[in-house]
Structure 1
């Protein structure tokens, strides 16, 4: 493999780590770049390899958030277990079938999400505590199961979807949603990585250096998000959602 390819992948991984730490969706940066730079590798091998830098940056960001943001540990442990298990199943399915049929559905959801976030100025600005603990755990199980499976099967945008779920369904603000989403995302990455290692799908030559770059980006992104607060995260979230729309729009309408 050419050295310049590894360097470009590392640069992409740094920016992916930064974006992912702030609001999720870092895979939307490094996944398409990896697919372009590594055209001769199987999709499953690329996806599996990118899980290593993904978990590296997410773990660093999660640790940084842990020191500054209050977590609901009972909810998180339950969600993490379901997220990990269903991500494993999603990755197993990825090695057998194509996931292209999901993209038109996601494209429509993202359009609605971008419009809602732009119009509703107070979206994710405050925490709303209206759910009982039992109901919150029940909803958390559903969220982590579906999004965990999505992470293993498709991947890009998982962090953003988790943030949205924490805000719209569980009533968190942007900062607490980003922090808690990181913990669940780490668990789903563990599930996927376990499957890909067992299948021998990881290209360690690119996975290791990308992991260091992603971790640095994750540290810087989490530090920036904590300093800037909810308003900054909301704007960043809109940018990432629009970027996601462009990516999925291209896949749905132009890529054959």
Structure 2
């Protein structure tokens, strides 16, 4: 790998861009594994930062982590019967709906309305943790957005706690997925390591800013990221 390509992939680490890795000429399966490697380090850094700040609902996520891990393992190992273009279309609609809902509901995620855990909401939480772990294992875009939305909608957390919880589950699915890709020799470590270092730096600073500013910053960033994902998936569908 030449230095120009390595520099390009390191820069891609700052924006967590799987398309950028593919554009550098890395084969698709290798690109997925390489991206998971970098994302695992990024999400671990963010998770640690949120945990140290007390912005994780441990009593809930302890039930969700194993569900996410199982879902991610099945996601990576499952051969999809669904056409990728159709899947892209469904995801575009869902992410767009989440973004619109967040804009129209002015107080969405602005305050912590969490009233406690029940058997019912724990079951729902385990269910969506498994489903999104599976989704992240085989596809991935928008997983964090969906998790944040569901943590707010189902449990009433504010954006900061919802973001912390989602980072831990993202870390879980990334590690499980990475393990399977690595066992299959699908990680390009020469690119993955500098990308990971770039993403660790970005994740630490990003989590610090998010915790300090809370929902007033996370909410608009959440909407912008959701819309950017929609634009990216639309472009991919039209390509």
TM-score band (shorter)?
Answer: over 0.9
Partner of 1:14: 14
Q: How does 1:60-99 map to 2 (within 5 A)?
A: 60-93=45-78, 99=84
Measure how far apart 1:131 and its partner are.
5.6
Count of aligned residue pairs for this structure pair: 239
Residues 74 and 228 (structure 1 numbering): CA distance in 2 closer, same or farther, change over 3 Å? closer
Kindly state the Cα deviation for residue 159 of structure 1 after the two structures are TM-superposed.
1.3
Shift of 1:7: 1.1
Whether contact under 8 Å (1:175, 1:225) holds in the other structure is: yes
Go from structure 1 to structure 2 and tell me whether the alpha carbon gap of 1:185 and 1:230 turns closer, same or farther (over 3 Å shift). Answer: same
Instruction: Confirm or deny: 8 A CA contact 1:34 1:46 kept in the other structure.
Output: yes
Shift of 1:117: 1.1
**Structure 2 Cα separation of the partners of residues 86 and 4 of structure 1:** 37
Give, in angstroms, the shift of residue 14 of structure 1. 2.0
Q: Distance in 1 between matches of 2:115 and 2:206?
A: 30
Kept after mapping to 2: 8 A contact 1:128/1:171: yes
Q: State the distance in 2 between where 1:33 and 1:98 align.
A: 23
Q: Report the aligned-residue RMSD.
A: 1.8
Contact 1:162 1:181 (8 Å CA) reproduced:
yes
* 2:135 maps to 1:146: no
Could you tell me how far 1:99 is from its partner in structure 2?
3.8
**Alignment equivalent of 1:211, drawn from 189, 196, 214:** 196
Q: Which residue of structure 1 aligns with residue 24 of structure 2?
A: 37
Q: Where does structure 2 lack aligned partners over 5 or more consecutive residues?
A: none
Mean CA deviation greater in 208-217 or 6-15: 6-15
Q: Deviations over 1:102-122 (max 9, x none)?
A: 110011112211211111111
C-alpha contact 1:44 1:94 (8 A) present in aligned 2:
no
- 1:124/1:172 contact within 8 Å kept: yes
Q: Is the 8 A contact 2:95 2:146 kept in 1?
A: no
Corresponding residue of 2:154:
169
Quote the residue 1:5 is aligned against: 5
TM-score by length of structure 2 reads 0.94
Structure 1 segments of 4+ aligned residues over 4 angstroms from their partners = 94-98
Which stretch of structure 1 is more off in the superposition, 190-199 or 173-182?
190-199
Q: Which moved more, 1:68-77 or 1:144-153?
A: 68-77
- Give the TM-score normalised by structure 1: 0.88
Extract unaligned runs of 5+ from structure 1. 17-29
Distance, in Å, in 2 between the alignment partners of 1:149 and 1:93 is: 9
| Preserved contact between residue 60 and residue 117 of structure 2 (Cα < 8 Å) | no
